Structure 1
Amino acid sequence: MKKLASILLAIFLGFIAGRLAASERQSDVLHTLLFRIVSPNGATESYLFGTHHAFSKSFFDTLSNTRAKLMAAEIVITESDPEPGHTANDIVNARTSETQWSKYLTKADLAYLREHLHDSPTNFEKLRPEELYAALNREYTINACNTRTAADPNLSIDEYIGFLAKQAGKRVIGLETADEQLELIRKDIEGMPPKVHKKRLSRLIQLIKSGGNSQICEATDMYRQMAFDYRLTEPCFNSLILTDRNTRWLEKIVGDLQSSSCFVAVGLSHLQFECGLISQLREGGFVVEPISTTE
């Protein structure tokens, strides 16, 4: 739990997928995370992969067909590809003001976190409450649900995909900057009173101390088993995090999908619902079909 080296790159899936997992509906359940995309004129073939940011190298490396499609692509598109020196950590550490944690944490919780995160590359004192919650929630999910092995690097699947692409000399495109993602986190809880921040942070810290609650692993178990309800005909429930972002992303990628072979890797929730990339691409004349991740 002391590593917060990659705190905010596309962290939203953990919250969204957790809410979706509660439903027992079986419409649009597809046993894959990988989709083939053919352009309207049939000239190009690309691939769309749904990620979960709690997983890393050890899981992705088991997906032989997915890795092969990544290596065959001309362009790799991920949620974020920060410029050197401008990661979320860099932005946080460059801030000139510190958070008055006494407004958001009990004395016991503050003392615990200062000790718990003392060797983190992110300056804890400069984090904002919503950023701290997101970072702790992500690390808690990783540890409680055993989504990574001891040999995994401190990289999410998305970051690992970007690493592999750059290692292979491929062009990598990021759909958002770290600044934009930090702003999304802020807007998502805008107006939340300090006492609510304090309550939910304290609850999460107690879970971390106690070793966790298995219910939080329902979403990660579904992802690991690759049995997910994509709900392609249902409306999106979050305009800020899903609908608006999907629309912006589609505008950025549609040209490349028509002219080049691309590998697009974004959070699995961005593939779901009628506002998701699968439904919107199909409406735009693309053929989008599920394929095996491992064959």
Structure 2
Amino acid sequence: MNKRVSFVAVIVWMVAGCANAQLLWKISGNGLVKPSYLFGTHHLIDKDRIKGFDQILALSGKADAVVGEMDLNNPDIKATMEEAEMMQDTTLKELLTPQDYAMVDYEFKNLMQVGLSQLGNVKPMLLDMMFSVMMYTKMMGFSKQPEGVDVIFQKNAEANHKKVIGLETPEQEANILFNTIPLERQADILMNDIKHSQQGLEQVNELTTAYLAGNMVRVETLNDEDDSLTPAEKQLMFDDRNAAWMKELPGLIKKQSCFIDVGFIHLIGKSGLIHQLRKLGYTVEPLLLQEKYIHKVAPGYNN
């Protein structure tokens, strides 16, 4: 397993004093009547580990709309994902050597008491995500995967009769996650993660530590050093998606105040949302949450 766990939709963390300063951002200027907000999420962190989460949640409830990677209440999600996750013309036994197949079968039986006799038609990328989540959950001592904060933001929006807007349709997300990388390459990624799982856990722990500290500069460095995906694959998973979202976001924040929550990796770098919004003329400032109010702090991440 490796830092690719950051995009798990199943699959982008805070606890240190200044964490919010780098993960929560205010978007203003460039003709906006009301400010919007941008928050970097980690799909596997329990809300109770997030410093000031109640204040962040309250802030999201004050916006006119919550914008996420996908509207998680879309009725088409389950059927669309289930169809995209399954292989039609091959099986894992055909994609792997007998030795590698036996290794994957053993790992899944050990982690979730289900072997490849039941999972052999599942695409390797989904198996990789499942393995990553299970290993991380085990490392953290959780009995189950925590409820994602993106789910909580959307539930809160609905409870407050606010709009929920997805930047991608279920079809788009399913295609990105399971169809853009060839099955043979997916199988290679799965085997690499299983064979180097301890190293992967150490990498995830290091990335998580940087996230919890709000150290976006370190997050970007670690992401750049991660070679689990090729540059072309990273572009498909991150850069191209950011570019597509940036075609939607200016219109959304012009029309209403939005609380935008996406995986934190989508915030960093020259293709990240922070840099792209600034290029369009918006002021994007990090915010620090305190006991009863939010105030600006000096930017520590200026990409």
Counterpart of 2:28 (choices 26, 38, 47) is: 38
Are residues 1:55 and 2:45 paired? yes
1:79-129 residue CA offsets vs partner (Å, 9 max, x unmatched): 112412523785249958486232334225315525744579xx7344201
Deviates more, 1:215-224 or 1:59-68: 59-68
Per-residue deviation, 1:197: 4.8
Partners in 2 of 1:218 and 1:111 — Cα distance? 27
> 1:243-254 maps to which residues of 2 (within 5 A)?
243-254=239-250
In the alignment, which residue of structure 2 is the partner of 1:172?
A: 164
> How far 1:194 moved relative to its partner?
7.6
2:152 aligned to 154, 160, 184, which one?
160
Going from structure 1 to structure 2, the CA distance change for 1:286 and 1:188 (only over 3 Å counts) comes to same
Instruction: Encode CA deviations 1:231-253: one digit per residue, 9 max, x unaligned.
Output: 69xx9x63212221111111112
Judge conservation of contact 1:99–1:125 (CA < 8 Å) in 2: no
2:78 to 87, 91, 96: 87
CA distance in 1, matches of 2:266, 2:240: 11
Distance in 2, Cα, partners of 1:195 & 1:255? 39
The match for 2:215 is 227
Checking the alignment, whether the CA contact within 8 Å between 1:88 and 1:178 is kept in structure 2 is no
How far has the Cα of 1:134 moved from its partner? 1.8
CA apart distance, 1:264? 0.1
TM-score, normalised relative to structure 1: 0.73
Contact 1:77–1:173 at 8 Å: present in 2 too? yes
Match of 2:135 among 125, 134, 140: 140
Structure 2's unaligned 5+ residue stretches are 1-6, 14-18, 225-230, 292-303
Q: Pairwise CA RMSD of aligned residues?
A: 3.7
Instruction: Pick one of 271, 277, 291 that aligns with 1:275.
Output: 271
CA distance in 2, matches of 1:214, 1:80: 29
* Kept after mapping to 1: 8 A contact 2:28/2:34: yes
Matched-pair identity in %:
24
- For residues 75 and 92 of structure 1, the distance between their equivalents in structure 2, rounded to whole angstroms, comes to 30
Query: C-alpha offsets along residues 189-229 of structure 1, whole Å, 9 cap, x if unaligned?
Result: 3364587356325426x659xxx843430111111222221
Counterpart residue identity of residue 249, structure 2? I
Normalized per residue, which structure has more helix?
2
Structure-2 change in CA distance of 1:262 and 1:213 (3 Å): closer
Amino acid at match of 2:30: P
Aligned match of 1:189: 181
CA distance in 2, matches of 1:96, 1:272: 33
What is the CA-CA distance between 1:290 and the residue it aligns to? 0.5
Shift of 1:77: 0.2
* Aligned equivalents of 1:218, 1:89: Cα separation in 2: 34
Q: Deviations over 1:111-159 (max 9, x none)?
A: 5525744579xx734420111102211332243246xx65x87422222
* Cα distance change on mapping 1:85 and 1:197 into 2, 3 Å: same
Stretches of structure 1 that go unaligned for 5 or more consecutive residues are: 1-6, 15-28
Note if 1:109 corresponds to 2:104. yes
* 2:248 match: secondary structure: helix
Contact 1:10 1:79 in 2 (8 A): no
CA distance in 2, matches of 1:117, 1:179: 28
Instruction: Tell me which of 124, 146, 161 is aligned to 2:119.
Output: 124
The answer (yes or no) to whether the contact 1:36–1:48 under 8 Å persists in 2 is yes
Distance 1:85 1:275, change over 3 A: closer
